[in-house]
Structure 1
């Protein structure tokens, strides 16, 4: 399904990112796996059967998003798919949040996707002009990872929720700007998925969240990656500007 495509996956060393990189590679994509943890990124890349190269670096640092895109172009000569997945949480009720904790969430969840996509823009947009002149259409894909916190809010996560809501606005705007270049731009909003982040939720809160899921359980990273894979695939060629909620049918907002 992804034969001949080159994909960037940020936050690719573990969890949803690693499962996404593996899924894309299994479908024939050449993958640039990006993560701040160089050792974990290399270990994950080595475990994937396919063409995978690593970009290790902190994408919040100046120049790193551009270096990531350059890695893809230098290694594989083209760019077709960008999955902005990197992120983490720093939780506290709003009256206890300091400026650094708020800004850190904006930086990794909203500013980094913006900078990565700005760097990727020439490689996603310009080929469409040539392809159109040749009478053919090649779809390229952007998938930004948001969260149910960004669409419904979540107590104790004002910083994370605001940042994840920001990436929804970025997604919908780019879908309007890049549609004429045959680029699908969508987001996924995950609910309770079994990752390192969800493992840190206190057990009582986890139980409450799980009880609100219609399917009765958290999702796996493979199930999360499958949703991203759909939005990277030809099956989504007429889907753009959307937020795909992947939450097992959660019945109310996030944690009370």
Structure 2
């Protein structure tokens, strides 16, 4: 018995990092996982890995910022599996710069992927979450569905050099709370996770990175020193927080922001 037996879940940005680990954790707990990612290769790899382990998965690749893709993603999922129970808005990028140097393009690109895309996905999911729930309620059926939006501690307290990212992640919190208020009556829980310094491709050591993605060692150590547990979080630890919010364990948790940050609140 898994916490997500029989559930169908979409996870955006599921090809790498936290999204990838979340896909694995969901599959281990019985969910059918839709792997949405910009890059086809890592999405196919995680799809294959889940299938080899005896789970069920489907990769649906595309650009989450393309205004047409959210509908395509939702409709392909429902056409293939007949339902949608869980939506995890995880896809993200960073385009850091100080405010006086940040371009309109840098600001808008980060807002588009972190805030506009989740809004569009939630809106497109309405017929298969909100409207489906209304029919169930009329029949006396209680069936919880879950929306989990990935925010960040940067969206709660700001972060120098991340005006775009912090603004987008703060917006995600507002979006999450509005959905909780509007859709809670339909047994749809909308919550967010706000991660601290999690070990991913975006937070790896820049000096030892093969693709010039990451954080300089000096800055990495500064972040780690602020964490009471004196270490980075692991993708699995991040994914298990998402699992909690996706599972029946959180059926009376709505409109909340779960901080997963090793105790670092300043």
The TM-score range, normalised by the shorter chain, is over 0.9
**Are 1:165 and 2:170 counterparts?**
yes
Contact 1:11 1:17 in 2 (8 A): yes
Task: Give the whole-Å Cα distance in 1 for the aligned partners of 2:224 and 2:40.
Answer: 33
**Are 1:44 and 2:46 counterparts?**
yes
Q: 1:85 aligns with which of 90, 110, 123?
A: 90
Structure 1 residue 3: Cα displacement: 1.0
Counterpart position of 1:129: 134
Structure 1 residue 251: Cα displacement: 4.5
Counterpart position of 1:32: 34
Counterpart position of 1:175: 180
Task: Give the whole-Å Cα distance in 2 for the aligned partners of 1:235 and 1:104.
Answer: 35
Give a deviation string over 1:6-30, Cα, whole Å, max 9, x none: 0000000011001001111111111
> In structure 2, the residue corresponding to 1:196 is in which secondary structure?
coil
Task: Give the whole-Å Cα distance in 2 for the aligned partners of 1:87 and 1:129.
Answer: 32
**Are 1:114 and 2:119 counterparts?**
yes
Give a deviation string over 1:97-122, Cα, whole Å, max 9, x none: 00000000110000000011111111
What is the TM-score of this pair, normalised by structure 2?
A: 0.93
**Are 1:197 and 2:202 counterparts?**
yes
Give a deviation string over 1:65-120, Cα, whole Å, max 9, x none: 10110121011000000000000100011000000000001100000000111111
What is the TM-score of this pair, normalised by structure 1?
A: 0.97
Contact 1:214 1:251 in 2 (8 A): no
> In structure 1, the residue corresponding to 2:202 is in which secondary structure?
helix
Q: CA RMSD in A?
A: 0.8
Counterpart position of 2:209: none
Structure 1 residue 176: Cα displacement: 0.2
> In structure 2, the residue corresponding to 1:197 is in which secondary structure?
coil
Aligned residues: 252
C-alpha distance 251-184 of structure 1, shift in aligned 2 (>3 A): closer
What stretches of structure 1 move > 2 A for 4+ residues in a row?
A: none
Counterpart position of 2:224: 210
Task: Give the whole-Å Cα distance in 2 for the aligned partners of 1:205 and 1:224.
Answer: 21
The farther-off stretch of 157-166 and 122-131 is 122-131
Counterpart position of 1:66: 71
